Chain A
């Protein structure tokens, strides 16, 4: 891709971003708050645990600044978005992933920072409500 096309794309994308995502709505639960408050803000207090939502975190992380996390909701149907909550972090909501197309597998893998040993929760927003899965990670050296 040449430079001109790249710039065009970038600008188009930025417009699309600001148009669809209301920033204030995100900030609502992306800030400094308790993990449980964040979960109830996202789910509206109604969520069920399910084995179909798979959350993969290491049991023991040596380096808290690079903890690999995988959220796999492919066994669920009608997944609109997934959230990852790291309970002991100052900002517990680490990531929100919105699936905008049927062409996307409800799957995401990334790395997060963890300050200390913590419970980790994944939330999937499906057509039939909110589904959660829990895990926990021990951190020997915090990375926040």
Chain B
């Protein structure tokens, strides 16, 4: 499954409101599939958010964060700033997305 990152960064009352929706199953390692096999643990365990290449936030989600994680944070900044999100999963998979503040 393609692991997409949907990003939205908008100025609102002086702050950048950044919203993300990451497509990811966030498997806890306890769920069973249709044939009764346990689905291996697979979840995003690091997220970094950068503004214009400078580190702003670091998040460490556990497998108890919902599937297809939704994230909402607020930053100081201005229109046109570039917000980047990087994630790494416990399996070593990575993805990133960069978006301009509107």
Q: Which A residues are closer than 8 A to B by beta carbons?
A: 1, 6, 9-10, 13-14, 16-17, 20-21, 26, 30, 65-68, 70, 86, 89-91, 93-105, 107-113, 143-144
Contact of B74 among A68, A100, A104, A113 (CB under 8 A): A104
Verify A17–B48 contact, CB threshold 8 A.
Answer: yes
Chain A neighbourhood of B101, CB < 8 A: none
Q: Which 10 A-B pairs have the closest CB atoms?
A: A109-B72, A105-B74, A13-B86, A111-B66, A103-B76, A96-B60, A98-B58, A94-B64, A100-B55, A10-B96
What total of A-B pairs shows CB separation below 8 Å? 131
Question: Shortest CB–CB separation between residue B94 and chain A, in angstroms?
Answer: 6
Q: Which B residues are closer than 8 A to A by beta carbons?
A: 15, 28, 30, 45-46, 48, 50-51, 54-67, 69-77, 84, 86, 88, 94-96, 98
A91-B63 CB under 8 A given contacts A13-B48, A103-B51: yes
A10-B94 CB under 8 A given contacts A17-B46, A104-B75: yes
Q: List 25 A-B contacts (CB under 8 A).
A: A6-B98, A13-B84, A13-B86, A16-B55, A17-B48, A17-B88, A21-B58, A26-B60, A91-B28, A94-B64, A95-B61, A96-B60, A97-B57, A98-B57, A98-B58, A100-B56, A101-B56, A102-B76, A105-B74, A108-B73, A110-B61, A111-B65, A113-B28, A143-B66, A144-B64
